[in-house]
Amino acid sequence: MSVTRLLDDIRSVGRDPRSGGYYRPVLSPSELDLRSWFVGEAERRGLDVETDRNGIVWAWWGAPASGSIVTGSHLDSVPGGGAFDGPLGVAAALEAIDVLRARGVAPRRSLAIAVFPEEEGSRFGVACLGSRLLTGKIDPDRARALTDADGDTLADVFARNGIDPAHLGRDDETLARVGRFVELHIEQGRGLVDLNQPIGVGSSILGHGRWRVRVQGQGNHAGTTAMTDRADPVVAAAAMVGAVAALARETPDARATVGRFEPFPGGTNVIASAVSFWIDARHPDDAVTLALVSRVDAACAELAALHGCTVELREESWSPTVGFNRDLAAELSTALGGAPLLGTGAGHDAGILSEFVPSGMLFTRNPTGISHSPEEDAEDADVDHSAVALADVLQGMLS
């Protein structure tokens, strides 16, 4: 089997044939299909598969033991995402075990592949939810009460899928099994293309957060309400979105995005009564990110007042900037013949785990450099090479 073959088996799961984008929210039918695919491939390799109390799936080569080597990634996607973000790391891990076995490697330590739920935070709003639950980086009560767009709570959705929400939360016994974590992921930028290299090693993750802005106005009739008689939250929110982009552009190295904008009730001939939109803001210096967001908050308050509306900005997810373990990064680079070190602007479960266990990342070249879009891409040769590279770094840790 090869990584490209493994990915071919799931290429149609959750894919929108019109746009080519993937829709695989955590514990949705498409992501459940991917979980079944993973369990099937793991069992076909004789791995022992278990789902822990936070919904993380573990496939073990050797008995679960503290200080094991763990690799893996996630299977959920952003709405309209690409084919590789998440599944590449999972498929490469499966194939890496085949490569290690073909080399006759007899591991001295157990190896596990972990599949983390809700890495994208696309259904319940908090990024890397599974690894946050495992490490205690999110309060279980807060997690249980998170809701999706349909108003379903995480507790109900997990319960419907056999994960008892009463047991969510920090799991020291499981965490102790992770001696080291190495995640392989598609590069979400052009670093490797520009360096003309097939594989890179993660050095850092940009701090990033998500804030929900809710603008309240006066719903009314589009035809009977004079322009001077309106408190239109869409007009106020549109100006706020402009302010977000302008303030981010004024802040060197900052990035701020509004990709989700929801007027309520959303009728063509209806002046909306409210608008919710979400800000994703990122910067290498966490203090700068937070200062940018407070400037945005002030601008939103001014613009709301100007348009006769009220506004509330609330943090939904926060991930501080991460510097990966330098020794491990150097070891990974050496094992890969001097692979280049790259910072990334994208968050990962490896970033959450890095506060608790030595964690590292490998990146596979993406010719378009585009991600969170159907144009995310990888050459078959680089995709298949991922498993060899991952096997190379794991072999050193297992032998």
Looking at 35-43, 56-64, 78-86, 134-142, which segment touches Mn ion (CB under 5 A)?
78-86
Report the partner that residue 347 touches, choosing among Mn ion, ligand HGY, none (CB closer than 5 to 8 A by kind). ligand HGY
What is the dihedral angle through the alpha carbons of 188, 83, 126, 130, rounded to the nearest 10 degrees? -110
How big is the site for ligand HGY, counted in residues (CB under 6 A)?
6
**Listed residue (35, 31, 56) closest to 134, CA to CA:** 56
- Of 207 and 219, nearer to ligand HGY (C-beta) is 207
Q: Which residue has the tokens 């989700």?
A: 260
- Beta carbon of residue 161, minimum distance to Mn ion (angstroms, whole number): 21
Give the one entry of ligand HGY, Mn ion, none that residue 365 binds, where binding means its C-beta sits below a cut-off of 5 to 8 angstroms depending on kind. Answer: none
Q: Is 352 in the site for ligand HGY (CB under 6 A)?
A: no
Residues paired with residue 23 on neighbouring β-strands, in sequence order: none
Min dist. Cβ of residue 13 to ligand HGY (A): 19
Cα–Cα distance, 202 to 142 (Å, whole number) = 31
* Window contacting ligand HGY (CB under 6 A); options: 119-127, 176-184, 252-260, 309-317: 119-127
Q: Does 346 bind ligand HGY (CB under 6 A)?
A: yes
For residue 81, the minimal CB distance to ligand HGY (Å) is: 9
Residue 398 phi/psi, 5-degree rounding, is -90, -20
- The smaller minimum CB distance to ligand HGY, of residues 304 and 346, is found at 346
The one among 111, 127, 133, 339 contacting ligand HGY by CB under 6 A = 127
Q: By CB under 6 A, is residue 97 in contact with ligand HGY?
A: no
Residue 342 binds: one of Mn ion, ligand HGY, none (C-beta under 5 to 8 A by kind): none
Does position 120 interact with ligand HGY (CB under 6 A)? The reply is yes
Which of residues 179 and 345 has its CB atom nearest to ligand HGY in the complex? 345
**Binding Mn ion by CB under 5 A: which of 85, 148, 280, 331?**
85
Distance separating alpha carbons of residues 347 and 332, to the nearest angstrom:
19
Distance between CA atoms of residues 319 and 126, nearest Å: 10
In angstroms, give the least distance from the CB of 19 to ligand HGY.
Answer: 18
Residue 222 to residue 227: CA distance in whole angstroms: 9
Instruction: Pick one of ligand HGY, Mn ion, none as the site partner of residue 177 (Cβ within 5 to 8 A by kind).
Output: none
- Under the criterion CB under 6 A, does residue 256 sit at the interface with ligand HGY? no
In the complex, least distance from residue 101 CB atom to Mn ion, rounded to whole angstroms: 27
Checking phi first, is residue 309 left (phi over 0); if not, alpha (psi -120 to 50) or beta? beta
From the CB of 185, what's the least distance to Mn ion, in Å?
6
Shortest CB 88 distance to Mn ion, Å: 9
- Tokens matching residue 287: 């203090």
Strand 274-283 versus strand 255-264 pairing type: antiparallel
Question: Residue 347, interface with ligand HGY (CB under 6 A)?
Answer: yes
**Residue whose CB is less far from Mn ion, 208 or 283:** 208
Of 119 and 377, the one with the shorter C-beta distance to ligand HGY is 119
127 binds, among Mn ion, ligand HGY, none (CB under 5 to 8 A by kind): ligand HGY
Closer CB to Mn ion, residue 85 or residue 392? 85
Q: What φ, ψ does residue 241 adopt, rounded to 5°?
A: -60, -40
Beta bridge partners of 214: 276, 312
The interface with Mn ion within residues 258-287 (CB under 5 A) comprises none
Report which of 78, 128, 123 is spatially closest to residue 370, judged by C-alpha positions: 78
Q: How far is the CB of 107 from ligand HGY (least distance, A)?
A: 30
State which residue, 111 or 281, has the beta carbon closest to ligand HGY.
281
Per the CB < 8 A criterion, the answer to whether 341 and 202 are in contact is yes
Shortest distance, position 55 Cβ to Mn ion, whole Å? 17
User: Could you list the residues that contact Mn ion (CB under 5 A)?
Assistant: 85-86
User: Could you list the residues that contact ligand HGY (CB under 6 A)?
Assistant: 119-120, 127, 208, 346-347
